[in-house]
Chain A
């Protein structure tokens, strides 16, 4: 099967064409302001090099949506309907958003009676008239992006679903995000994700349509998929509904690509850029996820993001002496004018690496005066910084291989304490596009079960996860369970059990 993987990063748009497990073509072009022309260019370059015949799938990873939130661009006004009254009334939707972002996204807030308790009883019966009134008010105000959030909807989504039907009836043009489709336990964080998603809905529609048009222009009749935070892909039409699930595709794709290029499934990965090194852990071929609150553009969320540790060590990090320190400041993209090897005034890690013969770049003569002792001390300090970062990311004492990728990977020493080996795969510079190209489809369930035995609850969770994967575009027969965990909820009566299951499989042809 031939696939094209594209990763749209902040600086570069990378593309690869894979035939089975073989990389047939790899190209790098500059990311463009409108994203789309860069993608068009990448598609042209990669198909020119390898032909478009037989390409069955195109996988695109993009930072476009998360950047829209961070930079407060192209966001739409959202109408929030919360089903919870009279509970939680003092902390309405948007209550913990930065004011500048709330001012753009907060269209209207309606709080009506509804929601469930942890034991499945309604807090209050759903106020259907209240929902209908809210929907009519939103329609009259010209607010087309709507969220519906209810207390404990991840346990019982029925009220959000019913309210969604009412809104669709009263306000047919609305695009509706239900909080249980996106989040976990934690009302504010789940609601925040839904609000962001709704605010991005028009931009997502526009962007995905443009990607589809770009495929057509390139003469590709392949299915379009978009990469997700967790390293898997979903069909474009689903990604269009849930743009927030594509937020962290960059680092995830890079780690997945590194795993593919080395054939390792359990390893640590360090991606060294110009300013920072991001260290992550691969478990069963997927990035380990952070188990904590993640802030996006200043908003608290509970996204499933890869667990990354970022340290201020990169190829452009500025070196200061007395006492010796590397970074966290960096010359960044101005390396070509600021670094000593390019005739600039600033001593950077790149200069030291050139002086030490670890890298050929610029004019080595300009760094010949760096004392050998300083050179060795800088390299040793960089090694210690990486050792500590790697050690923090390990969840067990056993040694694991470290995969070094990214433009600054030369700073990673060949041996690091706690690592069984340091590997530098070929094609490491397009690891992110490779990660997109090889992505599988996943499905997840995360629910509280009551009145079922542990075995029954786990089987039911797996069944739900499989159904979700097929909806996302997976071939049912290829699905395999990759992760299942159960957590007894001791303070809940009736033997309640929270089960989380995740399956992955191949893209359905």
Chain B
């Protein structure tokens, strides 16, 4: 276990945004909360998953809702902490530590808010290794772990429990209805996990991975080195394409942002074309019409000059971008894993092939 510095958390915010693979929401508001909590003298420790005892209980937290609503109602560290306490009261347990369900984007920093308020450590792990749009797209769902109960908190003193559901899909439906009724932004404490479950089914060391990634980008920016090269070196990634955004099509359907970004090649890729399809996050990439990269491999689109991640909501014509791939967590590469997060789960009739040699 080690204490995180505020520099670590600033780096985490930068790295989590890259691991958001185009979605997951900006970690900015969560970072602002952490700056304030650290200024008040609060601290967060990072706990290696190996340090968990098998029968330790771990709280799994996230924010649920619409990004536009979070821009108005902001994010409150007290609510996410209260969701953890509510689950403890409901089950009569005490959590040893807190973890994120999703390291990519805003939820990558979220557990730190609860951890700082409650004085508990954060587990160096999550259940996606990136950002995904739907609640069943987790390693815990792949592991067929129990989806219930769920604790939900609104700062007006409204607290709810989803006591039991038969599937992850039902949990998504029940929680979504409650969330909409409360104004489309809520703090959740999801089904608790034992230490053994985290160690068996969690995606491990993703918090420190995001911190390392953030530091690599920040150092390259500061020293005027190539930040893309720094990302690839830090994460054993592959550079797929360098180009310029030539066209972007977006549509909002069933609560998701879907669309396609088309890139014209530059430098070594001049004369070639790359197309990227997204559902909140980048899902599949085609080079010259041939599928080249697909989920669950992580597809990240970075600003070629700054190395900062570019989201599916903000990418626009003319930007100079580099498409890279980072290796998928092994749990998603099994046939069952691919059922949850492979190309067919996003509606693409493709057999998964990784850009990385197996």
Bound: A90/B254 CA distance, A: 32
Task: Name the interface residues of A270-309: CB closer than 8 Å to any CB of B.
Answer: 291-292
Task: Name the interface residues of A84-107: CB closer than 8 Å to any CB of B.
Answer: 84, 86-91, 95-96
Indicate if B36 sits at the interface (CB-CB under 8 A): yes
Encoded as 1 (CB less than 8 Å from any A CB) or 0, chain B from 243 to 275 comes to 010100000111110000000000000000000
Task: Name the interface residues of B28-67: CB closer than 8 Å to any CB of A.
Answer: 29, 32-33, 36, 66
Bound: A280/B318 CA distance, A: 13
- A87-B314 contact, Cβ under 8 Å, with A95-B32, A118-B184: no
Bound: A156/B73 CA distance, A: 15
**B254: chain A residues within 8 A (beta carbon):** 490
Indicate if B74 sits at the interface (CB-CB under 8 A): yes
Task: Name the interface residues of A390-406: CB closer than 8 Å to any CB of B.
Answer: 391-397
CB nearest to A117 among chain B residues = B183
Bound: A398/B68 CA distance, A: 33
Task: Name the interface residues of B181-200: CB closer than 8 Å to any CB of A.
Answer: 183-184
- A87-B76 contact, Cβ under 8 Å, with A292-B314, A488-B252: yes
Residue of B36, B74, B75 contacting most chain A CB atoms (<10 Å): B74
**A96: chain B residues within 8 A (beta carbon):** 32
* Min CB gap A102→B, angstroms: 13
**A95: chain B residues within 8 A (beta carbon):** 32, 36
Encoded as 1 (CB less than 8 Å from any B CB) or 0, chain A from 366 to 401 comes to 000000000000000000000000011111110000
CB nearest to B155 among chain A residues = A86
Interface residue from A90, A118, A292 paired with B72 (Cβ < 8 Å): A118
Bound: A291/B256 CA distance, A: 21
Indicate if B78 sits at the interface (CB-CB under 8 A): yes
Bound: A394/B246 CA distance, A: 10
**A124: chain B residues within 8 A (beta carbon):** 156
Task: Contact check, A88 vs B320: say whether CB atoms are below 8 A apart.
Answer: no
Task: Contact check, A91 vs B183: say whether CB atoms are below 8 A apart.
Answer: no
**B36: chain A residues within 8 A (beta carbon):** 90-91, 95
Indicate if B317 sits at the interface (CB-CB under 8 A): yes
Indicate if A188 sits at the interface (CB-CB under 8 A): yes
* Min CB gap B30→A, angstroms: 10
**A188: chain B residues within 8 A (beta carbon):** 29, 74
Indicate if B85 sits at the interface (CB-CB under 8 A): no
**A89: chain B residues within 8 A (beta carbon):** 76, 78, 155
Task: Contact check, A87 vs B184: say whether CB atoms are below 8 A apart.
Answer: no
Interface residue from A117, A392, A397 paired with B246 (Cβ < 8 Å): A397
Bound: A82/B49 CA distance, A: 42
Interface residue from A90, A187, A292, A395 paired with B71 (Cβ < 8 Å): A187
Task: Contact check, B77 vs A187: say whether CB atoms are below 8 A apart.
Answer: no
Indicate if B180 sits at the interface (CB-CB under 8 A): yes
Indicate if B69 sits at the interface (CB-CB under 8 A): yes
Task: Contact check, A493 vs B180: say whether CB atoms are below 8 A apart.
Answer: yes
Task: Contact check, B184 vs A491: say whether CB atoms are below 8 A apart.
Answer: yes
- A87-B155 contact, Cβ under 8 Å, with A187-B72, A397-B246: yes
Task: Contact check, B69 vs A118: say whether CB atoms are below 8 A apart.
Answer: yes
Indicate if A489 sits at the interface (CB-CB under 8 A): yes
Task: Name the interface residues of B125-182: CB closer than 8 Å to any CB of A.
Answer: 155-157, 180
Bound: A119/B184 CA distance, A: 10
Chain A binding site: helix, strand, loop or mixed by DSSP?
loop
**B208: chain A residues within 8 A (beta carbon):** none
Task: Contact check, A87 vs B71: say whether CB atoms are below 8 A apart.
Answer: no
* Min CB gap B23→A, angstroms: 14
* Min CB gap A186→B, angstroms: 5
**A90: chain B residues within 8 A (beta carbon):** 33, 36, 74-78
* Min CB gap B73→A, angstroms: 5
Interface residue from B66, B74, B256 paired with A88 (Cβ < 8 Å): B74
Task: Contact check, B32 vs A187: say whether CB atoms are below 8 A apart.
Answer: no
Task: Name the interface residues of A44-89: CB closer than 8 Å to any CB of B.
Answer: 84, 86-89
- A185-B318 contact, Cβ under 8 Å, with A89-B155, A91-B33, A490-B255: no
Task: Contact check, B183 vs A88: say whether CB atoms are below 8 A apart.
Answer: no
**B253: chain A residues within 8 A (beta carbon):** 490
Interface residue from A87, A151, A393 paired with B318 (Cβ < 8 Å): A393
**B316: chain A residues within 8 A (beta carbon):** 291, 395
* Min CB gap B127→A, angstroms: 23
Indicate if B319 sits at the interface (CB-CB under 8 A): yes
Task: Contact check, B76 vs A88: say whether CB atoms are below 8 A apart.
Answer: yes
Indicate if A247 sits at the interface (CB-CB under 8 A): no
Task: Name the interface residues of A483-509: CB closer than 8 Å to any CB of B.
Answer: 488-493
* Min CB gap B25→A, angstroms: 13
Bound: A396/B246 CA distance, A: 8
**A123: chain B residues within 8 A (beta carbon):** 73, 156, 183
Interface residue from B72, B77, B184, B314 paired with A151 (Cβ < 8 Å): B72
Task: Contact check, B318 vs A391: say whether CB atoms are below 8 A apart.
Answer: yes
Indicate if A242 sits at the interface (CB-CB under 8 A): no
* Min CB gap B293→A, angstroms: 25
Bound: A309/B25 CA distance, A: 25
* Min CB gap A190→B, angstroms: 9
Bound: A91/B113 CA distance, A: 13
CB nearest to B156 among chain A residues = A86
CB nearest to A154 among chain B residues = B72
Interface residue from A152, A292, A395, A491 paired with B66 (Cβ < 8 Å): A491
Task: Contact check, B78 vs A394: say whether CB atoms are below 8 A apart.
Answer: no
CB nearest to B256 among chain A residues = A490
* Min CB gap B106→A, angstroms: 14
CB nearest to A391 among chain B residues = B318
CB nearest to A96 among chain B residues = B32
- A394-B318 contact, Cβ under 8 Å, with A86-B155, A96-B32: yes
* Min CB gap B145→A, angstroms: 28
Task: Contact check, B33 vs A88: say whether CB atoms are below 8 A apart.
Answer: no
**B33: chain A residues within 8 A (beta carbon):** 90-91
Task: Contact check, B73 vs A151: say whether CB atoms are below 8 A apart.
Answer: yes
Task: Contact check, B255 vs A87: say whether CB atoms are below 8 A apart.
Answer: no
* Min CB gap B279→A, angstroms: 13
**A88: chain B residues within 8 A (beta carbon):** 73-74, 76
- A187-B69 contact, Cβ under 8 Å, with A91-B29, A391-B318: no
**A117: chain B residues within 8 A (beta carbon):** 69, 183-184
Bound: A84/B68 CA distance, A: 16
Bound: A186/B255 CA distance, A: 20
Bound: A392/B303 CA distance, A: 13
* Min CB gap A335→B, angstroms: 26
**B68: chain A residues within 8 A (beta carbon):** 118, 185, 489, 491
Encoded as 1 (CB less than 8 Å from any A CB) or 0, chain B from 94 to 127 comes to 0000000000000000000000000000000000
Task: Contact check, A152 vs B72: say whether CB atoms are below 8 A apart.
Answer: yes
* Min CB gap B140→A, angstroms: 25
CB nearest to B266 among chain A residues = A388
**A492: chain B residues within 8 A (beta carbon):** 66, 184
Task: Contact check, A91 vs B74: say whether CB atoms are below 8 A apart.
Answer: yes
Task: Contact check, A87 vs B156: say whether CB atoms are below 8 A apart.
Answer: yes
**B184: chain A residues within 8 A (beta carbon):** 117-118, 491-492
Task: Contact check, A185 vs B32: say whether CB atoms are below 8 A apart.
Answer: no
Bound: A374/B156 CA distance, A: 69
CB nearest to A121 among chain B residues = B183
Return 13 A-B CB contacts under 8 Å, by A number.
Answer: A89-B155, A90-B36, A91-B33, A91-B75, A96-B32, A121-B183, A152-B72, A391-B244, A396-B317, A489-B68, A490-B252, A490-B256, A491-B184
Top 6 A-B pairs, shortest CB-CB distance: A88-B74, A117-B183, A490-B252, A392-B318, A491-B66, A186-B71
18 further A-B contacts with Cβ under 8 Å, apart from A392-B318, A394-B317, are: A86-B155, A87-B155, A88-B76, A90-B36, A90-B75, A91-B75, A95-B36, A185-B71, A185-B72, A186-B72, A187-B72, A188-B29, A393-B318, A396-B317, A397-B246, A490-B253, A491-B180, A491-B184
Q: Mark A residues whose CB is within 8 Å of B.
A: 84, 86-91, 95-96, 117-119, 121, 123-124, 151-152, 185-188, 291-292, 391-397, 488-493
